[in-house]
Amino acid sequence: MIDKEKIRQAIRLFLEGIGEDPDREGLRETPDRIARMWEEFESMRSFDMKLFEEFGDYNEMVLVKDIKFYSLCEHHLLPFFGQVHIAYIPDGVICGLSKLVRTVRAFSLRPQVQERLTEEIADFLDKELKPKGVGVVVEAEHLCMSMRGAMSPGHITTTSALRGVFLKDMKTREEFLKLIKGV
Ligand SMILES: [Zn+2]
């Protein structure tokens, strides 16, 4: 649960901590805006898992490329963002694009690390769709790398998580990676 009062107090203190006056005009509403933003994130995270549909005998790979996402690195609370590519080989159940988009959103709108985001999406789809296999690739730019530290703007970090036949069968894995590269 989101504790908006706690967030408001914390942001006010944070602003004081960086030498700002939290009562000046531009900042006065900021603690409340941030509290409401996190409440919105929380409401966007939940979705109805029953939306996955039974679907006949389709046995070929389903691939959805370039699902845009925005997340926050848990080390700096700065955004990292990019795209997720998801493929799976169904075993009687498929789902529409909007459910995949919501799955990505559910795991990205929280303090995250890219590796865990990738694994959580793969594990969730593996559990809900029970496919023959699933593959997830995430490509992202991290503002904590672009704005500070290494100062490496535009640098893209790629992570992947493979389950089932994507892990066991080299041909499936190669097909998946080839299809992604055809962006
Ligand atoms: Zn970071």
Q: Which DSSP string do the residues of 51-119 spell out, in sequence order?
A: G-EE--S--SPEEEEEEEEEEEETTT--EEEEEEEEEEE-SSEE--HHHHHHHHHHHHSSEE-HHHHHH
Q: From ligand 1's centre to the CA of 97, what distance in Å?
A: 29
Is CATH 1.20.1260.10 the right assignment for the domain spanning 4-45? no
Q: Is the pLDDT of residue 183 over 60?
A: no
Calculate mean pLDDT across residues 143-158: 83
How sure is the predictor about 95, in pLDDT bands with cuts at 50, 70 and 90?
Answer: confident
Q: What's the mean pLDDT when you consider all of the chain?
A: 91
Would residue 144 show up in a list of annotated catalytic residues for this protein? yes
Active site residue 142: yes
From 37, 44, 27, 46, select the one nearest 4 (Cα to Cα). Answer: 37
Q: What is the CA radius of gyration of the chain?
A: 19
114 Cα–ligand 1 center, Å = 10
Domain parsing of the chain, residue ranges: 4-45, 51-181
Respond yes or no: is residue 95 known to be catalytic: no
Q: Is 85 a catalytic residue?
A: no
The listed CATH number (3.30.1130.10, 2.10.109.10, 3.40.50.1820, 3.40.50.300) that belongs to domain 51-181: 3.30.1130.10
The closest of 142, 129, 79, 152 to 109, measured between CA atoms, is 79
**In the predicted structure, residue 1 carries a pLDDT above the cut 90:** no
Point out the catalytic residue in the list 114, 119, 120, 139. Answer: 114
| pLDDT at residue 55 is higher than 70 | no
Which of these is catalytic: 9, 16, 40, 75? 75
Mean pLDDT value across residues 10-16? 98
Q: What is the pLDDT of residue 174?
A: 93
| Residues near ion ligand 1 (Cβ under 5 Å) | 73, 75-76, 144
